Amino acid sequence: MDMNRRMTGAAWGIGVVVACLTAAAPAAAQQSWVERAVHNFGEPINTLWAEGELSFAADGTMVYCSAREDLGAAPGDPKDLYIATFDAETGRWNTPVNMGQPVNSAPATGVDPLRLGDDREPWITADGNTIYFKSDRLATSDPRNASDLFVTRKVEGVWTTPELLPYPISTDAGDEHCPAILNDGETLCFASRREGGYGGSDIWCSRQDADGVWQQPVNQGPNINTAAEEFHFSQDADGRVYFSSNRPGGEGGMDIWSAMQTGPNRWAPAVNLGPQVNTAAADMCPALPPDDTTFTWFSYREDNSLGGVDIFWTHRSNLATEPEQ
């Protein structure tokens, strides 16, 4: 189903659609096909190229990355950041807007072969005025330094030149990526391959001191991190985080898992979200729309994609967040 055609009303639309359709359903079928199904966002968000790695502001504004060539910021640019807004009057997403330079960078392979102009994995703050993201604009030939974390801020309606989040956030050998802010609005979490982890990419978190300086990041421990790959936190209002991992015990490939926060840098054991969300292919980078009823991520689903990796959504009631008995 094209999500764009189902969203309506002044509120962010998925919840409205689900509420209307389920209210009209017979009592014996309270979990309607809308709730059970996995839905493709459809055009103009998804295209024949790859889309994913999305984040939402409180007003429903979405920032995500795409490899689309028709709106690219520079020739040969593999991934750019885009902003999309929903038009409540028409019930459709507006055509996404490429954030352009200097937020998106142009390839600079003449400087270093790893500088491909790859700008991805955005996290927009609730007020819509700050975006954290990863970029290869300062990459070196050392593959451990393929990406760093940057921040851009909207000042008088214009996005500023991105600033590097310096050490101890970005390092020369950690390949930092997938930034996210927890619900407290003060804790920055991200993935890194730096020393001191459990293996592969681990999730680390840091807080700012009174002077706004990011403190030494803390590894989030064995209930989150494993010898496999972990990245991309997204936290709901109850304190539960959703993240990507290819650890054993999933449906195959990259899966989405969840864990409840039990204290600062402390988490309950992670739970796989189950086959409604996860497949044998890659299911990654969860994001939570502000309607509190839906769940989004990107995936490749051969029977439901526009041409490759697309953005999907489902009802949160489909998430298996409790351990199997």
End-to-end CA distance of the chain: 33
Type and span of the H or E element at 237 = none
User: Is 184 a member of any domain?
Assistant: yes
User: Is 251 a member of any domain?
Assistant: yes
User: Is 325 a member of any domain?
Assistant: no
User: Is 154 a member of any domain?
Assistant: yes
Rounded Cα gap, residues 137 and 111, in angstroms:
10
pLDDT of residue 238: 95
| DSSP-assigned beta bridge partners for residue 147 | none
Residues of the chain with pLDDT > 70, as a percent, come to 86
Asked if residue 314 lies in contact with residue 294, where contact means CB atoms within 8 angstroms, the answer is yes
Rounded Cα gap, residues 102 and 95, in angstroms:
21
Please name the amino acid found at residue 250.
G
User: Is 323 a member of any domain?
Assistant: no
pLDDT of residue 3: 44
Domain that holds residue 210: 3-318
Asked if residue 130 lies in contact with residue 151, where contact means CB atoms within 8 angstroms, the answer is yes
Q: What is the domain count for the chain?
A: 1
**CATH at residue 96:** 2.120.10.30
Burial of 225 (0-12, 13-18, 19+ CB in 10 A): buried
Among candidates 140, 261, 249, which has minimal Cα distance to 203?
261
Q: What DSSP designation does 24 have? A: H
Type and span of the H or E element at 199 = none
Q: Is the peptide bond before 44 cis (omega within 30 degrees of 0)?
A: yes
pLDDT of residue 143: 84
User: Is 324 a member of any domain?
Assistant: no
pLDDT of residue 34: 54
Burial of 253 (0-12, 13-18, 19+ CB in 10 A): middle
Among candidates 156, 163, 94, 154, which has minimal Cα distance to 124?
154
Asked if residue 65 lies in contact with residue 80, where contact means CB atoms within 8 angstroms, the answer is yes
How many other CB atoms are there within 10 angstroms of residue 81's CB atom? 28
Asked if residue 277 lies in contact with residue 295, where contact means CB atoms within 8 angstroms, the answer is yes
Tokens representing residue 245 in the block: 């991992």
User: Is 109 a member of any domain?
Assistant: yes
Q: Which residues of the chain have pLDDT under 50?
A: 1-30, 33
User: Is 199 a member of any domain?
Assistant: yes
